[in-house]
Structure 1
Amino acid sequence: MEKISNSRKQAWIALVIALALIIGMMLGFYLHRRNGVQGDNIFLYPKSNKLLNVLKLIEAEYVDTVSVERLTDQTIVSLLKQLDPHSAYIPASELQAVTEPLEGNFSGIGVQFNMQNDTVVIVNTIPNGPSALIGIQAGDRIIKVNDTVVAGVKMSSEAIVKRLKGPRGTKVKVTIFRPSTRRQIDYDITRNTIPLYSVDVAYMVAPEIGYIKINQFARTTFDEFVTAVNQLHMEGMNKLIVDLRGNGGGYLDVAIKIADQFLGENQLIVYTQGRAKPREDFYATASGICQSDSVIMLIDEFSASASEILAGAIQDNDRGLIVGRRSFGKGLVQEQIPLADGSAIRLTVARYYTPTGRCIQKPYAPGSDEYYKDITQRYLHGEFLTKDSIKLNDSLKYTTPRGRIVYGGGGI
Structure 2
Amino acid sequence: LRGDKGTKVKVFILRRGIEKPLEFTIIRDKIPLHSLDAAYMATPEIGYIKLNRFAQNTMDEFHEALSSLQKKGMQHLILDLQGNGGGYLHVAIALADEFLNDKKLIVYTEGLRQPKQESFASQRGSFQVGKLVVLINESSASASEIVSGAVQDWDRGIIIGRRSFGKGLVQKPFPLPDGSAMRLTTARYYTPTGRSIQKPYDNGTDAYNQELQARLEHGEFMIVDSIKLPDSLKYETPNGRIVYGGGGIMPDIFIPWDTTFVTDYFTKIFSKGLVHQFTLNYIDNNRKEIKVNYPTLAQFKSNFIIDEKFMNDFVAFAENADVPKDEDGLAKSGTTIKNQMKAIIAQNFWQSSAFHEVINENNEAYKKAIVVITDNSFDKMKLSYGGVKTK
Query: Quick check: TM above 0.5?
Result: yes
Are residues 337 and 210 of structure 1, via their aligned partners in 2, closer, same or farther at CA, if it must alter by over 3 Å? farther
CA-CA distance at 1:388 after TM superposition: 0.5
Give secondary structure in 2 for the equivalent of 1:219. Answer: coil
Pick aligned residue for 1:252 from 70, 82, 89: 89
Deviations 1:344-401 (A, max 9, x none): 6655332110000110211114862221211122122111121100121322221111
d(CA) in 2 for partners of 1:167 and 1:377?
48
Question: Which residue matches 1:221?
Answer: 58
Alignment of 1:195-344 (within 5 A): 195-335=32-172
Are residues 390 and 367 of structure 1, via their aligned partners in 2, closer, same or farther at CA, if it must alter by over 3 Å? closer
Give secondary structure in 2 for the equivalent of 1:193. Answer: coil
Q: Which has the higher helix share?
A: 2
CA RMSD of aligned residues (A): 2.4
Residue identity matched to 2:134: M
Are residues 321 and 178 of structure 1, via their aligned partners in 2, closer, same or farther at CA, if it must alter by over 3 Å? closer
Residue identity matched to 2:68: Q
CA-CA distance at 1:195 after TM superposition: 0.9
Residue identity matched to 1:217: F
Question: Which residue matches 2:348?
Answer: none
CA contact (8 A) 1:396 1:409 kept: yes
Q: How many residues align?
A: 249
Gaps of 5+ in 2: 250-391
d(CA) in 2 for partners of 1:398 and 1:345?
34
d(CA) in 2 for partners of 1:332 and 1:261?
24
- Which protein has greater RCO, CA pairs closer than 8 Å, 6+ apart? 2
CA contact (8 A) 1:361 1:408 kept: no
d(CA) in 1 for partners of 2:146 and 2:201?
20
CA-CA distance at 1:331 after TM superposition: 1.5
Question: Which residue matches 2:360?
Answer: none
d(CA) in 1 for partners of 2:187 and 2:7?
41
Question: Which residue matches 1:380?
Answer: 217
Alignment of 1:350-389 (within 5 A): 350-365=187-202, 368-389=205-226
d(CA) in 1 for partners of 2:7 and 2:49?
36
Residue identity matched to 2:115: P
d(CA) in 1 for partners of 2:8 and 2:180?
27
Deviations 1:185-218 (A, max 9, x none): 5656442101111111111111211111111101
CA contact (8 A) 1:178 1:184 kept: yes
Residue identity matched to 1:239: H
Alignment of 1:1-400 (within 5 A): 164-165=1-2, 168-169=5-6, 174-185=11-22, 189-335=26-172, 347-365=184-202, 368-400=205-237
d(CA) in 1 for partners of 2:98 and 2:144?
15
Deviations 1:251-279 (A, max 9, x none): 11101001001111211000012244321
d(CA) in 1 for partners of 2:211 and 2:183?
22
d(CA) in 2 for partners of 1:198 and 1:367?
34
d(CA) in 2 for partners of 1:197 and 1:339?
33
Identity, in percent, stands at 59
Residue identity matched to 1:397: K
d(CA) in 1 for partners of 2:11 and 2:96?
44
Gaps of 5+ in 1: 1-163
Are residues 346 and 223 of structure 1, via their aligned partners in 2, closer, same or farther at CA, if it must alter by over 3 Å? farther
Give secondary structure in 2 for the equivalent of 1:194. Answer: coil
Q: Which has the higher strand share?
A: 1
d(CA) in 2 for partners of 1:166 and 1:410?
45
